[in-house]
Amino acid sequence: MNVELDQIQLPTYPSGSYNFIRRLRNEAVPKSSPSYGECKRDETSNPINNENQLIFPVKLNITIIGAGVGGLSTAIALKREGHSVTVYEQALALSEVGAGIQIPPNSSRILHSWGLKAALERRSIKPTSILWRRWQDGSTIGNARLNPELEEEFGSPYYVTHRAHLHDALHERVRGLGVPVRLGKRVEGYEVDDGVVRFSDREVVKTDLVIAADGIKSFARKLLNGERDKGPYGHGLAVYRATVSMDDIRADPLLKWIADSPALNLWLGHNLHVMSYAIAGGERYNLVLTHPTLPNQIQNISSADILNEMRSSYDGWDPVLKRLLDLVNHALEWPIHAVDIPERWASNSGKLVLIGDSAHAMAPYMALGAAMAVEDAAAMAAALNRLGSRGELGDVISKWTAVRKRRVTQVHQASFGHGLILHLPDGPVQRARDEALKAELGEGAITESPNQWNDPTVREWVYAYRPDVDINESF
C-alpha cells in the first residue's frame, strides 16, 4: 500500500474517511456523499422477514459445499424458505480457530432474523466502542462508538464473540432446521452446468443448485474462472492470533483496567496494528496482531519462534501492550490473503454459484468478510423467492450475482482502504489523520472521520444495508 501523499488513491465507495487527505493535498472536499442511497436501507419493514415477501412456489433441491460461516448461513437462509438443503464439508469434524470475530449490525440483523439472537446474546459481548491508541504510549487518538449507538441507529447491535461460538450457534440452528451436514466429504469435481458434484469417495450428487462456499482457496472459483483466477494473494502482512485469560489480566495492576472496560482497544503503528477485545462471555481476551511478513515465512517457524518474533515486533510499543504479550502462551501466525473479485461467480445455467470467501475473500481491516457471507446468504434466499420456474434459475442467479458483486467490490475496496489508514507511518499524513480523529474524542456529533468504523457515511452505507431490499429492487 502506497502511503506517499500524492500516490494515495481516493476510494469510490461512500466515505468521508479520506477527506483529511483531500485537505492535505488542497483538493476540494465533497459536501456530502452522493452514494448514500446505495445503502438500501428499508425503513418500513424491519427486521428482515423473507416470509412476508412475494413467494413463488418453486422449491429446489440444493447442495452446499463447505460448512464455514458462509455455508452454514446459506443453509439456514434457504431451508427457512422451504428448499431442501444438504451441506457437505471436507473436514472430519467442525471446528473454528480459537480467535475472535466481530459481528457488525448488517450481519447481526440477519442472524437475529434467523433465530440466533438468544445464542448471540448469551455468549457475545456488546462493546461500547473501539478506542484507537497511539502505538508508543497507548494514548487515545480515536473513538468509534458502537453500542448502544449502532443499535439505536441501525436496529441491531455490534457484537464481538468467539469464532467457535458463532460457528456453534449457526450449526445448532442448521441442525434444528433438520439440514444434514455430511462431514469428510471432499469435492473433487463439478459438472458446472448440470448441478453435479463428485466427491473423493466416488459419491456423485446431482441437485437443482450447487452453492460452493468452499473458502478462499475455492476449487469451484478456479473451475469457473480458469487461468483468470490468480488465487489468494498477500500484500506483505500477516497476523498473529492469540487469546489471554481474563483472570491473568485482572490479576495484573497494569492491565486490570482492560478487564473493567467494555471497549475494544486498537493500537496503531506503521504497518502494524493490534486489535483486541473480550470474547467467550468475557473469559478470554482476543488479540489480532497485524505485522509485515515475507512470502512463505509462516510455514517454516516453530511455535516458540512465533512467540519471540511476536514480542520483538512490538519493541518500543506501549508498556500495556508489551505486558499483554508477555501473558500469551500460544499464538498462531496467519497470512492476510485476499482474492480479486472473480469475473465469473456462476455457471451459465446458474446451477453452480460461489458464496462467501470463495467469491470475495478480503483483507480483514474492517472485520466484514464473514458479514458479507451472511449478507450473500440472505440475498440468495430473497433471490430464490423470485424463481417462477426452474428454467429461470440462470436469470435469477445472474441478478443475485450482479447485486452481490456491486456490494462486495466496494466493501473489498473499503477493507484495503482502511488498512492504509490504520498503518500510516509517523509523519505528515499520520499527523493529519490524528488531528482529524480528534473530533471523535469530544461529545459532539461527528460529520466525518478517517476512522471508517465511525465515519457516518461509511456507517450508513455498511451497517444500514439490507440485502433483501437490494435484491427485490433488482427484479
Ligand X SMILES: Cc1cc2nc3c(=O)[nH]c(=O)nc-3n(C[C@H](O)[C@H](O)[C@H](O)COP(=O)(O)OP(=O)(O)OC[C@H]3O[C@@H](n4cnc5c(N)ncnc54)[C@H](O)[C@@H]3O)c2cc1C
| Residue ranges that bind ligand X, judged by CB under 6 A | 65-71, 88-91, 101-102, 186-187, 213-216, 219, 239, 288, 334, 356-357, 364, 367-371, 373
Name the minimum Å distance from CB 257 to ligand X.
24
Minimum distance, C-beta of residue 369 to ligand X, in the bound complex (Å):
3
The gap from C-alpha 185 to its chain's centroid, in whole angstroms, comes to 26
Residue type, 14: P
Closest distance to ligand X from the beta carbon of 229 (Å): 14
Q: For residues 36 and 334, which CB has a smaller minimum distance to ligand X in the complex?
A: 334
Cβ nearer to ligand X, comparing 5 with 91: 91
DSSP string across 185-231: --EEEEETTTTEEEETTS-EEE-SEEEE---TT-HHHHHHHGGG---
And the C-alpha cell for 328?
500469551
**Least distance CB 132 / ligand X (angstroms):** 16
**Smallest distance from the beta carbon of 446 to ligand X, in angstroms?**
22
Question: CB neighbours (10 Å) of residue 36?
Answer: 14
Give the contacts of 181 (CB within 8 A, at least 6 positions apart).
Answer: 67, 75, 86, 87, 89, 94, 171, 174, 175
Choice between 11 and 70, CB closer to ligand X: 70
Least Cβ distance, residue 402 to ligand X (angstroms)? 20
| Alpha-carbon 123 to chain mean position | 19
Nearer to ligand X, 24 or 335 (CB): 335
- CA distance readout (Å), 19 to 32, 253, 436: 11, 40, 9
360 vs 386 by CB, closer to ligand X: 360
Class of residue 188 by CB neighbours under 10 A (exposed 0-12, middle 13-18, buried 19+): exposed
For ligand X, the closer of residues 53 and 271 by Cβ is: 271
> Judged by CB, which is closer to ligand X: 238, or 436?
238
Do 240 and 275 touch, CB atoms closer than 8 A? no
Q: Residues with Cβ < 8 Å from 68, sequence gap 6 or more?
A: 167, 213, 215, 356, 357, 373
Determine contact, residues 129/141, Cβ cutoff 8 Å. no
CB of 360 to ligand X, least distance (A): 8
Provide, rounded to whole angstroms, the least separation between the CB of residue 69 and ligand X: 4
For ligand X, the closer of residues 91 and 204 by Cβ is 91
- Nearest distance in Å: CB 52, ligand X: 27
Residue 157 or 364 having the CB closest to ligand X: 364
Instruction: Supply the minimum distance, in Å, between the C-beta of residue 416 and ligand X.
Output: 13
CB 300 within 8 A of CB 252: no
Q: Is the Cβ of residue 185 or residue 386 nearer to ligand X in the bound state? A: 185
Q: Are 279 and 286 in contact (CB under 8 A)?
A: yes
Closer residue to ligand X (CB): 133 or 167: 167
Kindly state the smallest distance separating residue 203's Cβ from ligand X, in Å: 12
Closest by CA position to 358, among listed 19, 135, 6, 71 = 71
Three cell numbers, residue 454: 465511525
**Pairing outcome for strands 159-162 and 181-182:** unpaired
Cβ proximity of 457 and 33 under 8 Å:
yes
**CA–CA separation, 234 vs 460, rounded Å?**
29
